[in-house]
Structure 1
Amino acid sequence: MREIVLINITGEDRPGLTAALTGVLLQGGVNILDIGLAVMHGTLSFGILVDIPDNEVATALLQSVQSKAHELNLQARYTPISEEDYQQWVDGHGDNRHIVTLLSRKVTPAQLQRVSALISQYGLTIERIERLSARVALDAPTEQGRACLEISVRGEPTDPQALRAEFFALSSEQGVDIAFQQDDLFRRNRRLAVFDMDSTLIEAEVIDELAKAAGVGEQVSAITERAMRGELDFRASFKERMALLKGLDVGVLDEIGASLRLTEGAEHLFAELKRLGYKTAILSGGFSYFARQVQARLGIDYVFANELEVVDGKVTGVAVEPIVDAQRKADLLQELAIKEGLQLEQTIAVGDGANDLPMLSLAGLGVAFRAKPLVRQSAKQAISTLGLDGVLYLLGWRDRNGCA
């Protein structure tokens, strides 16, 4: 009679252990059904599920494994698995998989406990937890830290919308970003990434900077803030703000452009996206004059933004059509996907304002970056704790080897 046995080996890791242990299994026509190995701080955890043809072979084989483990100063433990339990495990292979990603400056036990409790509460089973972020020195400043855990779960949540709402509430409470994605082919096969510019790629709203130079800073900033929160129609608010800039001397543009700072993580993100073969684009309700400067700094492929009309060295205050508003951004995302021969599931969109929501909802991965609560809650995913390169973690990218 056959025996199905789970063999667990633990102990101090060193080269050659896997070969030595699997070498024992060469006898008796053993079939390997599953295998997993992890090393944490020099400690090996090795599991192997085997199908052994009959009891006599099983007894001799397990004695040999025990002897080899003792010889290598390792601990071996055996767990018999019934054919019924094994068949249930096989049948579960077709279950849906999801990825829960925790991003923070520093992951705490409270964050992980609360997230894992919600995963269980909504009928999901954790299969794997892996750290994607690099090892951190004990004395590293927390504000400069990067911590990311990727949790692979099996099953379908009993109430997906309620689970997302719970994750959102927990994110705000615990200071951690929690992403929840389907673990499918597209997650690692995206090839186009589009970005808002102001307060996403750069740490400023350019129209507010122009307004300061024109002496109408407070008026324009108030309108911008309301538009970002979704309280005002973008097109109407854009035209209103543009009118307030009438007469601004074009000479201030270079000065403002030179003062613009890239967002934390932007350079790293674009370097990696380029290395991975992505096409990138700016889809901005800001101005092409400044977007082209950002394009040059980050090596971006496409730029679509608003034109700043200037006559006789002065800004006219007229909004030049077509205005890149919420719908225009969504349309441009679709056009670029078609141009590059991609499905929308293969695209990424990142932005911070209400006018970014249509493109965020269309993209395979839509990320609200350091956004207002309404935008964060409405987007598929949100990052507020880390820099822009936190997007890489949502693709399964690992710090230790720079690969997805």
Structure 2
Amino acid sequence: MSAPADPSQPRPTDGGPAHPAPHGAAYPAGAPGAERTLLLTLTGKDRPGVTTSMLGVLAQAGVDVLDVEQIVLRGRLVLGLLVTAPDAPADVDRLRDDVTRAATAVGMQVEVEQGTGDNHSRGAGRVHVSVIGAPLRAEALAEITGRIADAGANIDRIERMARYPVTAIDLHVSGADPERLRLSLAAEAARQGVDVAVQPANLLRRSMRLIVMDVDSTLIQGEVIEMLAAHAGCEDEVAAVTEAAMRGEIDFEESLRQRVARLEGVEATALDEVYASIRLAPGARTMVRTLKRLGYRFAIVSGGFSQITDRLAADLGIDFARANELEIVDGRLTGRIVGPVVDRAGKATALRQFAAEVGIPVESVIAVGDGANDLDMLGVAGLGIAFNAKPAVREAAEVAVNVPYLDTIIYLLGISREDVEAADAAAGLVTPAPVAG
């Protein structure tokens, strides 16, 4: 029988050493990764061959690449290369000279900084901070980044996710208390008129596989029952009850039954007319199309009516739909609901059932809604997004989006508009720019 493992020794993972040393580098005892390194930073006008030229020089020197970052902003290149340093000081000087000559030959400036080890550990509290504005003012971004610094956190990387119809950037932040940072940034975002979302930088963000959405004033513009009320001549009365229900002032089921009762006698053909007049939220088709390409499943759950939601689901390629059913007799609405009412609790129940049918935990579900009857499902989901929501819902939700473009949700998932447009172009489509209104 083999001897028990010594718990004081590093344990191998996936068949390799716990801390493999780079090729040709020996670690001092007790200090994994503490070899001497060089950081090369190149800046200048971008042109083909810059990266190849630098890597060619490094290859001749026999060094190893530990990290590399490159970005191009309006034709200006910034390239960072972290490499192992040659052992002999004379070889370091020779490499510095070779790199400088190669950079000059391609019109670049280069700085070479000696140091020890790889990148510093980013430590605990790693989060993604998404900032969205239309426009995104420098003052707003200054205040947001200031709050991050005040929290003792550090911004490790910044990426632009979209430039129109909103500007969206993703800040990779470390060293933060996620909940405290979220509260601080939410308050500052409200003052600055921008949207901010704080999400843990872990695998959960990449494991989202089902989106469950409210319909009225979320997936579509307006409220279906108010459109039907226009046919019954009681639009103002129904609208007042709807608003009170969405604010949580009236029990949803009772308010729904009151409103539906006022539709008694309306011809069922009114449902066709209402459906034909429905306007999707700007960016809705782009969001659904993009995320379905990535394997997401979609569900809609509504306190509205299945005669509308079933057609929406078929039109958009949505996988699941749950809503109330209007009773129709002899071609007219009776003013009654068939079966149980889909209310606040019913929406959360539907979310759980959809997740079970897909075979995923609720932590891998994104829920999107705007009203009080969406609160339970927003709370159950792994990520709850309040979309142009009532104040109480914005305060309760993990993330609030207040721009009118539904495809903004894509950027919160780490998908850039450039990625969206490239996928559409490959499919022979032109990505429409969403228009509010």
TM > 0.5: yes
* Alpha-carbon distance between aligned partners in 2 of 1:386 and 1:60, rounded to the nearest angstrom: 57
Q: 2:249 and 2:185 mapped to 1: Cα distance?
A: 25
Tell me the alpha carbon deviations over residues 251-282 of structure 1, each in whole angstroms, 9 at most, x when there is no partner.
Answer: 32222221111111111111112222221111
Which residue does 2:173 correspond to in 1?
A: 153
**From 60, 75, 82, the counterpart of 2:94:** 60
For 2:127 and 2:347, the matched residues in 1 are separated by: 29
Following the alignment from structure 1 to structure 2, what is the Cα–Cα distance between the partners of residues 309 and 167? Answer: 47
What's the offset of the Cα at 1:110?
1.1
1:42, distance to aligned residue in structure 2 (A): 1.3
Q: What is the match of residue 154 of structure 2? A: 125
Measure how far apart 1:387 and its partner are.
0.8
Instruction: State the alpha-carbon separation in 2 of the partners of residues 386 and 129 from structure 1.
Output: 24
Taking the aligned partners of 2:238 and 2:188, their CA distance within structure 1 comes to 34
Partner of 1:335: 353
Shift of 1:28: 4.4
Distance 2:222 2:147 in 1: 36
- 1:31 alignment partner in structure 2: 64
Letter in 2 for 1:23: G
Q: Within 1, Cα distance between the matches of 2:261 and 2:105?
A: 82
Deviations 1:188-235 (A, max 9, x none): 232211111111111111112222322222222111101112222212
Do the aligned partners of 1:103 and 1:176 also contact (CA within 8 Å) in 2?
Answer: yes
2:131 corresponds in structure 1 to 102
1:93: Cα distance to partner?
4.5
Between the aligned partners of 1:116 and 1:386, the Cα distance in structure 2 is: 24
| Paired residues for 1:1-400 under 5 Å | 3-52=36-85, 53-81=87-115, 83=116, 86=117, 89-90=119-120, 92-134=121-163, 145-157=165-177, 160-400=178-418
Report sequence identity in percent: 42
Does 25-34 or 323-332 show the bigger shift? 25-34
Distance (whole Å) between structure 1 residues aligned to residue 189 and residue 249 of structure 2: 24
Alignment coverage as a number of residue pairs: 388
CA distance in 2: counterparts of 1:115 and 1:156, whole angstroms: 14
Q: TM-score, structure 2 length as denominator?
A: 0.84
Q: CA deviation at 1:124?
A: 1.5
Write the distance in 2 (CA, Å) between the matches of 1:154 and 1:148: 20
Over residues 127-160 of structure 1, what are the superposed CA-to-partner deviations in whole Å (9 max), with x where a residue is unaligned? 11111114x6xxxxxxxx3211111111232xx4
Amino acid at match of 1:9: L
1:3–1:55: 8 Å Cα contact kept in structure 2? no
User: CA shift at 1:171, angstroms?
Assistant: 2.8
Q: Give the 3-state SS of the residue equivalent to 1:26 in structure 2.
A: helix
3-state SS of 2:169 partner: strand
| Counterpart-to-counterpart distance in 1, 2:229 and 2:343 | 20
For 2:205 and 2:303, locate their aligned partners in 1 and report how far apart those are by CA, in whole Å. Answer: 28
* Contact residue 320 and residue 354 of structure 2 kept, 8 A: no
- Stretches of structure 2 that go unaligned for 5 or more consecutive residues are 1-25, 27-34, 424-437
Alignment RMSD (CA, Å): 2.0
Distance in 1 between residues matched to 2:122 and 2:204, nearest whole Å: 19
User: Which stretch shows the higher mean deviation, 263-272 or 211-220?
Assistant: 211-220
The structure that is helix-richer by fraction is: 1
Distance (Å, rounded) in 1 between the aligned partners of 2:194 and 2:218 = 19
Amino acid at match of 1:125: N
The answer on whether the counterparts of 1:238 and 1:319 sit within 8 Å (CA) in structure 2 is no
Q: What are the superposed Cα offsets for residues 56-89 of structure 1, whole Å, 9 maximum, x if unpaired?
A: 22121112111221222211112222x3xx47x4
Provide the secondary structure at the position in 1 that maps to 2:290.
helix
8 Å contact from structure 1 (residues 103, 386) kept in 2:
no
Q: Is 1:281–1:301's contact at 8 Å kept on the other side of the alignment?
A: yes
Structure 2 Cα separation of the partners of residues 110 and 378 of structure 1: 27
For structure 1, the 5+ residue unaligned runs are 137-144
- Give the Cα–Cα distance (whole angstroms) in 2 for the partners of residues 389 and 209 of structure 1: 25
Counterpart CA distance in 1 for 2:223 and 2:242 is 8
CA contact (8 A) 2:213 2:367 kept: yes
